[in-house]
Amino acid sequence: QVQLVESGGGLVQAGGSLRLSCAASGRTYSMVAMGWFRQAPGKEREAVAGITWVGGRTTYADSVKGRFTISRDNAKNTVYLQMNSLKPEDTAVYYCAAKQEYSSNYDSWGQGTQVTVSS
Protein backbone atom coordinates (compact mmCIF):
# COMPACT_ATOMS: atom_id res chain seq x y z
CA GLN A 1 0.00 0.00 0.00
CA VAL A 2 1.03 3.60 -0.59
CA GLN A 3 0.44 6.34 1.96
CA LEU A 4 -0.27 9.84 0.69
CA VAL A 5 -0.17 13.17 2.53
CA GLU A 6 -1.42 16.35 0.86
CA SER A 7 -0.55 19.91 1.79
CA GLY A 8 -0.89 23.40 0.39
CA GLY A 9 -4.61 24.06 0.45
CA GLY A 10 -6.11 27.26 1.76
CA LEU A 11 -8.19 30.33 1.04
CA VAL A 12 -7.40 32.48 -1.98
CA GLN A 13 -9.16 35.20 -3.93
CA ALA A 14 -10.38 34.59 -7.45
CA GLY A 15 -7.53 34.99 -9.91
CA GLY A 16 -4.99 33.87 -7.36
CA SER A 17 -2.75 30.82 -7.22
CA LEU A 18 -2.09 27.88 -4.95
CA ARG A 19 0.31 24.96 -5.11
CA LEU A 20 -0.70 21.60 -3.71
CA SER A 21 1.84 18.93 -2.80
CA CYS A 22 1.38 15.23 -2.20
CA ALA A 23 4.12 13.13 -0.65
CA ALA A 24 4.00 9.37 -1.11
CA SER A 25 5.52 6.72 1.15
CA GLY A 26 5.36 2.96 1.47
CA ARG A 27 5.22 0.85 -1.70
CA THR A 28 6.19 3.76 -3.93
CA TYR A 29 8.24 1.46 -6.16
CA SER A 30 5.00 -0.03 -7.48
CA MET A 31 3.40 3.29 -8.43
CA VAL A 32 2.69 3.85 -12.11
CA ALA A 33 0.67 7.07 -11.90
CA MET A 34 -0.53 9.73 -9.52
CA GLY A 35 -3.42 12.09 -9.83
CA TRP A 36 -5.46 14.85 -8.27
CA PHE A 37 -9.22 14.66 -7.77
CA ARG A 38 -11.63 17.09 -6.18
CA GLN A 39 -15.05 17.01 -4.62
CA ALA A 40 -17.21 20.06 -4.06
CA PRO A 41 -20.17 20.06 -1.63
CA GLY A 42 -23.13 18.24 -3.12
CA LYS A 43 -21.16 17.09 -6.16
CA GLU A 44 -19.46 13.89 -7.19
CA ARG A 45 -15.71 13.51 -7.06
CA GLU A 46 -14.07 14.42 -10.35
CA ALA A 47 -10.64 13.85 -11.83
CA VAL A 48 -8.59 17.02 -12.17
CA ALA A 49 -5.18 15.92 -13.45
CA GLY A 50 -2.97 12.87 -13.71
CA ILE A 51 0.65 12.06 -14.45
CA THR A 52 2.46 8.83 -15.20
CA TRP A 53 5.41 8.05 -12.95
CA VAL A 54 7.58 6.97 -15.87
CA GLY A 55 7.56 9.36 -18.79
CA GLY A 56 5.56 12.05 -17.04
CA ARG A 57 2.62 11.92 -19.43
CA THR A 58 -0.11 14.28 -18.19
CA THR A 59 -3.89 14.51 -18.52
CA TYR A 60 -6.23 17.30 -17.45
CA ALA A 61 -9.92 17.89 -17.04
CA ASP A 62 -11.20 20.35 -19.61
CA SER A 63 -12.25 22.71 -16.82
CA VAL A 64 -8.64 23.22 -15.65
CA LYS A 65 -6.66 23.02 -18.89
CA GLY A 66 -4.40 26.02 -19.30
CA ARG A 67 -4.76 26.98 -15.61
CA PHE A 68 -3.49 23.96 -13.66
CA THR A 69 -0.20 22.11 -14.07
CA ILE A 70 0.62 18.72 -12.58
CA SER A 71 4.25 17.74 -12.08
CA ARG A 72 6.27 15.18 -10.17
CA ASP A 73 9.58 14.77 -8.42
CA ASN A 74 10.44 11.10 -8.58
CA ALA A 75 13.36 11.44 -6.18
CA LYS A 76 11.06 12.87 -3.53
CA ASN A 77 8.07 10.66 -4.43
CA THR A 78 6.04 13.85 -4.58
CA VAL A 79 3.47 15.16 -7.01
CA TYR A 80 2.43 18.80 -7.28
CA LEU A 81 -0.57 20.68 -8.61
CA GLN A 82 0.09 24.30 -9.52
CA MET A 83 -3.24 26.08 -9.73
CA ASN A 84 -3.37 29.52 -11.38
CA SER A 85 -6.22 31.83 -12.29
CA LEU A 86 -8.38 30.18 -9.68
CA LYS A 87 -12.14 30.55 -9.89
CA PRO A 88 -14.82 30.19 -7.20
CA GLU A 89 -15.97 27.01 -8.94
CA ASP A 90 -12.57 25.47 -8.15
CA THR A 91 -13.57 25.42 -4.48
CA ALA A 92 -13.47 21.81 -3.29
CA VAL A 93 -11.61 19.28 -1.22
CA TYR A 94 -8.66 18.14 -3.31
CA TYR A 95 -7.45 14.56 -3.00
CA CYS A 96 -4.22 13.01 -4.15
CA ALA A 97 -4.32 9.43 -5.43
CA ALA A 98 -1.86 6.81 -6.61
CA LYS A 99 -2.23 3.88 -8.96
CA GLN A 100 -0.07 0.82 -8.52
CA GLU A 101 1.15 -1.49 -11.24
CA TYR A 102 -1.26 -4.30 -10.41
CA SER A 103 -4.35 -2.10 -10.27
CA SER A 104 -6.59 -0.73 -13.02
CA ASN A 105 -7.77 2.12 -10.82
CA TYR A 106 -6.35 4.59 -8.35
CA ASP A 107 -6.20 2.56 -5.14
CA SER A 108 -4.43 4.77 -2.61
CA TRP A 109 -5.89 8.07 -1.44
CA GLY A 110 -4.80 10.97 0.71
CA GLN A 111 -6.91 12.61 3.39
CA GLY A 112 -7.73 15.65 1.26
CA THR A 113 -6.96 19.33 1.52
CA GLN A 114 -9.49 22.15 1.33
CA VAL A 115 -9.19 24.77 -1.40
CA THR A 116 -11.53 27.75 -1.12
CA VAL A 117 -11.65 30.45 -3.77
CA SER A 118 -13.51 33.61 -2.83
CA SER A 119 -15.11 35.90 -5.40
Which pLDDT tens digits describe the chain residue by residue (119 residues)? 899 999 999 999 999 999 999 999 999 999 999 999 999 999 999 999 999 999 999 999 999 999 999 999 999 999 999 999 999 999 999 999 999 998 989 999 999 999 999 99
**Contact call for residues 53 and 35 (beta carbons, < 8 A):** no
pLDDT for residue 113: 97
Residues above pLDDT 90, as percent of the chain: 94
According to the model, what pLDDT value does residue 1 have? 86
Residue among 102, 113, 81, 114 nearest 30 (CA)? 102
